[in-house]
Structure 1
Amino acid sequence: MGPLTAGIAVETQRRTSGPALYGIELGRAGKQLGFAGLSHSDNVHDNGLITVPVAVISSGPGPTALLVAGTHGDEYEGQVILQEMIRWLEPEHLSGTVVIVPAANAPAVRAGTRVSPVDGGNLNRSYPGQPRSGPTDQVAELIAGTLLPKADVVIDLHSGGSNSTYLPSMFIYRGPDQRTWERKVSASRAMRLPYVIVVQPRLEPGSLSTAGDDAGVLALSTELGGGGTVDPGVLTDARRGVRSLLAHVGVLAAQPFTEVQAAGTVVAEPVWLELVPKSPVMATTPGIFEPLVGLGQRVRAGDPVARVHAIDDLERAPQEYTARLDGIVAILRRPSLASIGSYLLHIAPEFEAPKH
């Protein structure tokens, strides 16, 4: 298929309100490349649509996976993986359907910003969305109202963006019930990333993870490095991990490129971490952030982990910060200039791997 333009797109789903899908017929087998058309009126967008790329690749009946990236426009690893997947994945590789939204908050992706430059919307705080609101709410409503109910699993590919770097990890909400939690644990192991970061249920009520939990869909997320760039090693692990996870949930048929583990193969257990209220180390003075620890380093409560140097007060010694608990440095701030209230790093305590 060649590039899709609005001039040749065919609207296959009409609504009385909210975004429509162009060039996509949900439930049809084959490979379809299209877009969602968002209606918005301002000085730039008054005479056309804001487009959000969408791909649907299906072999017919079977489980459905919804893959999302570009929720924040400056998080690039997931976008690269899904753009690649759209090009190589064919219906004959599948035992079901993969729906791919590689640039979910498309205005933010095109601008390289965390939130939309059109309406200031943070897509991962906007679910379940509103069909007649701004573009960000429209995307949230399309994903939560149209795509998510058809899915058996949703994977929201995040990374640290321009402001932070994470350990390459699965990022999962506890709950919402024991059976779903066990499925999340199993799927996280199948992804084969070196870490799993666990957070409290409904950590962000407006997130896609919460929307998935509310819809009864297996909802998974990642944090794949960050720093406003792409780490080749993290990208390689995540690329392999997404294929492994799709095979695990029965969507991707066994093919050489899935790298499915042979029977009896022992896969390394990830390190299980949890973000808790004492995890963040917050700046209480503005200035230049100096990290005293590295990402992935183990620290103990009371260890010095950061300094902030005053810019104008030349006689003042830097403010030093210490860890409030034992754990591993899971998130590290990227910009060196910090303000009061900036999180400099997060320390996540380890916990025993779940038995199930």
Structure 2
Amino acid sequence: MDETDKLIALYSHTGERLLELIRTLESGSYTRRRKERILKQIDEILAELTDGAAQSMSELLAESYKAGSQEAASSLIAQGMPENQVNTALEPIIHQQAVQAIMDDTFFRILEATDNMSQDAKLRVEEIVRTATERMLTEGFSRREATKEAVAKMTEQGITGIVAKNGARIPADKYMNGVVQYNLRKAHVTGAENTIVQNGLDLVYVNYVGITCEYCAKYQGRVYSISGADPRFPKLEIRPPYHAHCVHSISAWIEEYQTPDEVERMLAASNRPFTDNRTESNIRRYNEIQRDKARKNETRKQWLRYKAVLPNDTPNLRQFASQKARKTAKYTELQELYRKANATIKAEG
């Protein structure tokens, strides 16, 4: 499990911890003091998450920015620029400020997710107590029975990380996975761009990906002028990444190392209308890939949960997916280990 997966697993594991904490109300023997203790535990769990996520993300962003810078420098050399003329020094002020700006935005997202997780978990506790009490008084349920049903209903879904504009509640691990991937790619692109500018260049190329989404299709495969000083090419106003999980980046495009035919081709490609020009077959293939990704993501999310709780017993993702698909004895055994581990966590909570 790489460091990015560990960060996402941290959210998956924290979500499970909060749900298990809420499930401790199942006994029905709750008091005001016990409820306050649970609310305090929610704060403690999320404070630990925030600190861990911020530290991990800061390190990952610095690494991604450096990788983007190194990739840009390598591209300059590959195109023909003499190696001894390529400025690869990460000048402290420019680069540190760039990384910090991305970290500031990321930290805001981390706090936003933490706040939503806190509100969601605490509201579930309050709702369980309210619903159980109401059913005891109006429907004659025992305290234990009413509470158990309320807990089951309130723990069906993962803890909310963000509420979308349409009102959909997105689980914290899914939301933060998008936040992490987007900002790591942004750091990579920013590192590349600043290194390109640092070497006195202005033209950059956004890579072409054959099978891509409608939005990315409008911008990929073009040369842009960073400053807008070269009127032959569009100005780089909208930079990749264009969305979470975007695979687009930029690299230097040095005209003097291009053939006349390539310059003409790129002028035409760069100035085409900003519209989706994908073929019907590419669109169909993209939709097929997205459906397949959705299925694989469910397995990956499950793997992250298992890896967070059973780091030494859970195999790598490929083996896990294979065992799950074939419903092997090892997978069944791992499921039982996971169930017991969560039961232990619940009892200790």
Using CA pairs under 8 Å that are at least 6 residues apart, name the structure with larger relative contact order, 1 or 2: 2
The structure with the largest strand share of the pair is 1
TM-score, structure 2 as length reference: 0.26
TM-score, structure 1 as length reference: 0.25
Larger Rg: 2
